[in-house]
């Protein structure tokens, strides 16, 4: 009788527990990535606005004109020697968000202080919000028009998105103005 031989060892890739561990690691990785995306959405709701801003404007000259106007507005404050470079940078970013992405005051502030956004100190962000020149009602209207044109949302859904803390964060008054002036 031949001596008892051990059966050949299975490759690690053929063992069920190996694939169970791999599956667990993949699921945890996906959950971590989704958690980061979700957190970025709450810290920086502007990302929704930015994705909608990637859609073409009705006029190609419009963003250039708005950028020129915002830089002219910022020149007065940019020349102020008592204002730190960081505060000026926060103001310039805020003006860009207001003029090109048509964001709300709260949305801009959150984007400026977010670790997933600009990461400015709160005092610099507050300075920017206090000094940015924007017509918040018009920003709400332009955002509503963008939702209507590009996402085919209902009027109720647009209004909800405008005032939602997870959406655009416009005030009730700004959203009311937008809905009153939004074409049917």
The residue ranges of every structural domain in the chain are 15-43, 46-181
Say yes or no to pLDDT of 31 above 70.
yes
Query: Which residue, 160, 174, 55, is CA-closest to 104?
Result: 174
- Dump pLDDT digits (tens) for 99-136: 999 999 999 999 999 999 889 999 999 999 999 999 99
pLDDT band at residue 77 using 50, 70 and 90 as cut-offs: low
- On average, the pLDDT of the chain sits at 78
- Where residue 2 falls among pLDDT bands split at 50, 70, 90? low
Question: What span, in angstroms and rounded, lies between the C-alpha atoms of 105 and 108?
Answer: 5
Provide the whole-model pTM. 0.59
């Amino acid at each position: 009788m031949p001596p008892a031989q051990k059966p050949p060892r299975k490759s690690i890739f053929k063992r069920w527990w190996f694939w169970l561990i791999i599956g667990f690691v993949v699921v945890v990785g996906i959950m971590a990535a989704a958690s980061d995306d979700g957190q970025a959405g709450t810290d920086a709701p502007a990302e929704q606005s930015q994705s909608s801003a990637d859609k073409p404007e009705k006029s190609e000259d419009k963003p250039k004109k708005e950028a020129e106007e915002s830089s002219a507005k910022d020149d007065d404050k940019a020349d102020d020697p008592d204002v730190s470079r960081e505060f000026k940078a926060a103001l310039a970013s805020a003006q860009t968000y207001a003029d090109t992405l048509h964001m709300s005051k709260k949305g801009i502030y959150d984007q400026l202080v977010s670790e997933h956004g600009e990461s400015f100190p709160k005092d610099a962000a507050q300075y920017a919000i206090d000094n940015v020149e924007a017509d918040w009602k018009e920003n709400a209207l332009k955002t509503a028009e963008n939702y209507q044109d590009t996402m085919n949302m209902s009027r109720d859904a647009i209004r909800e998105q405008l005032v939602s803390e997870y959406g655009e964060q416009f005030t009730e008054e700004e959203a009311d103005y937008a809905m009153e002036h939004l074409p049917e």
